[in-house]
Amino acid sequence: MANNHQIPLLNATNYNTWSGLMTVYLQSKRIWRIVSGAKTQPVLSDIPTAGEQAVLKLYHENRDKACGMIYLHLDNDQKIHVEAVKDDPIQIWDALKAVHQQKCPGNRFNAYDDLFSIQKEEGENLQTLINRVEQAQLRLKDFDLAKLDEELASLTLIRALPDEYNAFASSLLLLDKLDKATIHQAFVTEDIQRCHCTSDMPAVATAFQTTPALSASKP
């Protein structure tokens, strides 16, 4: 779609940028308050006047306009998220927010990991580096400082794990919370399991070595 308003189509990675620009655009069209839910459908009196009916008609027209504007600014792979609610601008907006701003710890970890992993690329100027950091920070704008303070130690522990712990690290990111107590207990349990598996290996090896000898001794 041709976009004359410098608003990128929403894709899998640009929600924070897109939502900010889209909000301003809808405000400029005087329909953002419908999308945000601040402006609700007018209630008609028992005997509606022509003025009331005109106000209601304008509300429905603006509601439809909001649906269309948002939908036309979605990449094709994003439209699936709103197909069931595309006649309701509030539900469209909420559905997109739910998809792209899930509050699970795994999303927070990935956002922090991306931010802390940024390094200046070869040939990159410092202004571009600044822009990349700012863009990464946009993903964190809904994660408050209390969450960061609570989970920072846990995030550091997970990032410190070597590749051989990838499966374990992935399982941690599926947890409902990443508080220190939960992560510490998971680490202790994982350590016990690994020690147990290691201690079992010599016994298994011995069993394999003795089995042929026992078989050979039979007449």
189 occurs within a structural domain? yes
Is residue 10 a part of any domain in this protein?
Answer: no
Of how many residues is the chain composed? 219
Residue-wise pLDDT for 11-25, tens only, equals 887 887 898 899 999
Q: Into how many domains does the chain fold?
A: 2
128 and 71 fall within a common domain: no
- One domain for residues 192 and 173: yes
Burial of 74 (0-12, 13-18, 19+ CB in 10 A): buried
**Other Cβ atoms within 10 Å of 34 Cβ, number:** 21
The reported pLDDT for the residue numbered 206 is: 56
pLDDT band at 135 (very low <50, low <70, confident <90, very high): confident
Which of 75, 76, 102, 71 is closest to 88 using CA atoms? Answer: 71
pLDDT by residue (tens digit) across 78-95?
999 999 999 999 999 999
Q: Verify that 60 and 81 share a domain, yes or no.
A: yes
Considering the chain, what is the average pLDDT of its residues?
83
Q: What per-residue confidence (pLDDT) applies to 214?
A: 44
Q: Are residues 92 and 130 in the same domain?
A: no
Q: What is the pLDDT of residues 97-128, one digit of tens each?
A: 988 876 566 667 777 778 888 899 899 899 99
Q: Residue 121: which domain range? A: 105-199
